Amino acid sequence: MAPEACVGIGWRQPHYETLLARRPALGFIEVHSENFFADGGLTLAVLDAGRAAYDVSLHGVGLALGSAAGLDERHLAQLARLVERVQPRWVSDHACFARVGSGLHAADLLPIPFNDESLALMVRHVEQVQQRLRRPVLVENISAYAGWAGDTLAEPEFFNLLTQRSGCGLLLDVNNLFVNARNDGLAPGAAAREAMRWVDAIRPGSVGEIHVAGHAEQTDGLVIDDHGSRVRDEVWQVYEHAIRRFGPTPTLIEWDTAVPELDVLLDEAGRARAAVC
């Protein structure tokens, strides 16, 4: 894949008009699937215009693939309709849970256990989604602020087994790796090295896309994956390490809060493109 085709940005509402007017050189744009579930209307018209200009990646936050309560059939049906309409380059969601048996949805990406039972559940749900969409999907590793006691699988091993058994790909979020390591008490340099070890444990050929983003360090020491600033230098180091390991890989600049001018995102995309080259 040519380097210029590898790098995209998250296309958020403040940049709808500007992106379509300027048509900057990007490999793709990524949108949040759930924002376009409505039937008809201006939002779908905007997405159609974006799809005419760029390849589109659909990135979801609501499938809750690790929920023991099962998948939400209505959500999956809406996603299937959107995929049929847009014909995206990729479809992705997260390795998390959010649904409980009563039908309540936490509206958050909650961490799953890393054990054989959770793995079997994830494989079953991923296969169900792929059969419905008639395509492989990508599953993202999340930033987690709590964990489960008694995990029996290391997180990279969990994802290696998930991709092998279900046929899905990994959406590797290197910022999430760094944030998790920082919240485990590691200093920035040590956190970057720990994230690189995570990357080294992943099976080559399984990574379909990489996310890079900014994060916020709180005064109490907690690090928040807020996608609200430029990518930190240590995260770029982890990203460059991933590119050396996996080769040129489609890469997204994520920016969801305090969204800046479009040129800031394009500047970050240029830095990712330089690493791919």
CATH of the domain at 22: 3.20.20.150
What is the rounded distance in angstroms from the CA atom of residue 119 to the CA atom of residue 160?
11
* CB-based contact 198:155 (threshold 8 Å): yes
Tally of domains within the chain: 1
Nearest residue to 114 via CA among 141, 91, 138, 136 = 141
pLDDT tens-place string over residues 97-141: 887 766 666 667 889 999 999 999 999 999 999 999 999 999 999
User: Each residue of 6-34: pLDDT tens digit?
Assistant: 899 999 999 999 999 999 999 999 999 99
Determine the pLDDT at residue 102: 61
Looking at the domain assignment, is residue 255 inside a domain?
A: no
What pTM was computed for the model? Answer: 0.95
Distance (Å, rounded) from C-alpha 53 to C-alpha 50? Answer: 5
Q: Residue 41 has what pLDDT?
A: 84
Domain ranges, residue 23: 3-249+271-276
Specify the residue for token string 């080559």: 204
CA gap 270, 277 in Å, rounded:
10
Residue 265 inside a domain? The answer is: no
CB-based contact 141:159 (threshold 8 Å): yes
Cα angle 145, 152, 97 (rounded to 5 degrees) comes to: 45
Residue 115 maps to a domain: yes
Give residue-wise pLDDT tens across range 28-76: 999 999 999 998 888 999 999 999 999 999 999 999 999 998 999 999 9
- Render pLDDT for 167-193 as a digit per residue (tens, 0 to 9): 999 999 999 999 999 999 999 999 999
* Residues 218-255 pLDDT 10s: 878 899 999 999 999 999 999 999 999 999 999 999 99
Q: Say if 19 falls within a structural domain.
A: yes
Asked if the structure places residue 263 within a domain, the reply is no
Specify if 118 maps to a domain: yes
Q: Is residue 124 part of a domain?
A: yes
Does residue 262 fall inside a structural domain?
A: no
Q: Which residues contact 101 (CB under 8 A, 6 or more apart)?
A: 68, 69
Residue 50 and residue 80 in contact, taking contact as beta carbons nearer than 8 Å: no
